[in-house]
Amino acid sequence: MDIILTVCLIIVTLAFVALVVQAILTLQQLRHTAKAVEYLALNADGKLTALDPLISGVKSVTAAVSSGWFKAAQTVYGLFTRE
């Protein structure tokens, strides 16, 4: 009976050590990822301002699509396409 308990204790200890090693590796990778995201955020500010005309164009198209004229056109189209 003592041998079984000893073997189980060794297996549990090895599993815990493997868990700790994996947690350390994961935290190291998380630290590298956080540094990369911080670098990207600091350097992306100047590059994102170049996209302002594109973003304003998308906003105007979105406003046109959600306007009342588009909804009225959908309603009229729906009346003619129903069977």
Burial 41-79 (b: 16+ CB within 10 A, else e): eeeeeeeeeeeeeeeeeeeeeeeeeeeeeeeeeeeeeee
Average pLDDT value over all residues in the chain:
85
6-26 per-position pLDDT tens digit: 999 999 999 999 999 999 999
The pLDDT of residue 83 is above 60: no
Residue 75 pLDDT: 77
Q: How far apart are CA 67 and CA 83, in angstroms?
A: 27
pLDDT at 31 over 90: yes
Computed from CA positions of residues 51, 56, 59, 60, in that sequence, does the dihedral angle turn out positive or negative?
Answer: negative
Percent of the chain with pLDDT over 70: 92
User: What pLDDT is stored for residue 44 in this prediction?
Assistant: 79
